[in-house]
Structure 1
């Protein structure tokens, strides 16, 4: 196991992770149940019935997923403190806006327990992940037990997304086939994956797993899923991309247009550290500024055309990912509060014109990185 994965494993099992929330808000049983996922939420109560939403739904196999998904990695820690009632209210605010799908994982501290409380109260479906860092301890019975535990915590799983740290160990194909068995037994709806490179994804498909979604980092700053050929392959296989990091924790927003790179004080969350690293691999800060200037120009054109009002650079960043995704997939946005709900919904009010996509792509083509395939840098392959 690389130093990176030792660090990740230490983080997710640390007291910092498990106690980043207010411990008085959740009991010990919930903690013990919590060691990249999304489904349409169907209200069980008339009080939660939704108006017609501009956020479309996407078919992920037989599951319906909102085209923007609420992501709850942030509940694992490293993103500031929070209280559970406020988190539940934030989930409801997103839900009422039409962002009706949730994403969690069994390693995100108390995330599954909190998401499960919302999902069960609303009577909705929700998806999660099975994340494996140490293949030596993995057994078929152990995998079945973990997935069923997540199902019981959440009430229901639609898409079960599979992560495997060391893809040089081909046992991941066996584990994916075990997940396919659970799918056929009705334990969850569809098999998804997260952060696999193209050769590994092909091995699972060739074995008959039937993967239906692939959650990856994808943005103007990170084009690995495209440059590797993985996006085209997914489109040919009917696999939907679920793109996270589309605004780079705010780096791809007006907040950084015309100013210096993020200061040490601003790189204060796990997300920001990750995306600041992506920006550094993309190229110089001058190139990032050139990208932001191109996106600001496109933003002005969208406003001028009357396609949408109140458009931000963040909307343009998200729209670029959607409009260049051959799988017609989804966006995953990390949620810490409800301040960006309207912004995230506005992304679905318009599309970019071909010339606008080209203006951004011309700058993106000047990038130095990140090199390789999906998650190759993080695995130490490049």
Structure 2
């Protein structure tokens, strides 16, 4: 495994970071707690020391699973990254979506980051995670109803209290990062990035590179699409939101699989899976510090970690870039 510092901080994280969204089950159809705990621990055993979660992932379930998984580990040997700003238990802020929890009960989810809410969410996260501090605390989505300075004044307070080590954002534009950065030093922005979703290359990525802010790329495997295991007619479990996304419609799947067919020879040259090749390419992209990779079981977790066991030559990266940019 390789490790990098976030921004200009002293917080060092594993380049492959365990993404614990799927572990929470919400929007993924289901979760098996034992499998999820085993996946996190298997990742840790092969060098994945960083775990990214959020309260909204299973409405607390993912954080509880992370807390169980890291119990007994030396706290300074693992980096816990979590978020705030999405409430399912409070009707305040921007309505983000109507959804269902893991039991099938209808819930309304709001983007809200008022000061009192940020403080409350942090306390709840600390309890679920079984820790007394969070390494990286990130706003999950922008909240148009709360001034950015109010939100990050709360984060400053948490840092001063020792409950948070570093501040980050998710899904923020460059302009929003600039405004938040006036209140607290930001070390990172967590944004979607994959071979088939490269929108951040226009503005966000260049800003972060110039200003020494790390990019944490989420969904680098496009929620499983870039593993090559999704095909036309693929049956998703009930409650799996992927079924309705444009990336998982027949035409897009067919185009993606055609791209993957061209990448297979490169993967085979390294005795790697397509997923490993995609992850390896992702972390080689300029400005990308971390690739968040989810896993439902230990085998998947180990496979993701092993994406760092081989190197891509400059010629191979050029070949892959040409195929990706022709997509």
2:246 paired residue among 272, 277, 298: 277
Aligned residues: 296
Structure 1 position 68 matched with structure 2 position 16? yes
1:239 paired residue among 206, 213, 217: 213
Structure 1 position 193 matched with structure 2 position 175? no
Cα drift, residue 337 of structure 1: 1.0
Cα drift, residue 159 of structure 1: 0.3
| Distance in 2 separating the partners of 1:317 and 1:271 | 22
Contact 1:318 1:347 in 2 (8 A): yes
Q: Corresponding residue for 2:71?
A: 120
| Greater Cα offset, 343-352 or 261-270 | 261-270
Q: Corresponding residue for 1:229?
A: 203
CA offset digits 1:249-302 (Å, max 9, x no partner)? 33212435xxxx43251476646347x524669x855542442133123224xx
Structure 1 position 342 matched with structure 2 position 302? yes
Q: Corresponding residue for 1:323?
A: 284
Q: Corresponding residue for 2:93?
A: 135
Structure number with the higher strand fraction is 2
SS in 2 for 1:69: strand
2:147 paired residue among 149, 166, 171: 171
| Distance in 2 separating the partners of 1:77 and 1:190 | 27
Give the alignment's Cα RMSD to 1 decimal. Answer: 2.7
Decide whether aligned partners of structure 1 residues 86 and 280 sit closer, same or farther in structure 2, where only a CA change above 3 A counts: closer
| Distance in 1 separating the partners of 2:184 and 2:93 | 19
Contact 1:323 1:351 in 2 (8 A): no
| Distance in 2 separating the partners of 1:140 and 1:332 | 28
1:209 paired residue among 162, 179, 184: 184
CA offset digits 1:24-64 (Å, max 9, x no partner)? xxxxxxxxxxxxxxxxxxxxxxxxxxxxxxx1122122222
Q: Corresponding residue for 2:136?
A: 159
| Distance in 2 separating the partners of 1:138 and 1:248 | 27
Q: Corresponding residue for 1:262?
A: 232
1:88 paired residue among 21, 37, 44: 37
SS in 1 for 2:84: strand
Cα drift, residue 210 of structure 1: 1.3
Structure number with higher relative contact order (C-alpha < 8 Å, ≥ 6 residues apart): 2
| Distance in 1 separating the partners of 2:237 and 2:319 | 29
Structure 1 position 181 matched with structure 2 position 157? yes
Q: Corresponding residue for 1:9?
A: none
SS in 2 for 1:316: helix
Structure number with the higher helix fraction is 1
Structure 1 position 294 matched with structure 2 position 262? yes
Contact 1:191 1:212 in 2 (8 A): yes
Structure 1 position 58 matched with structure 2 position 58? no
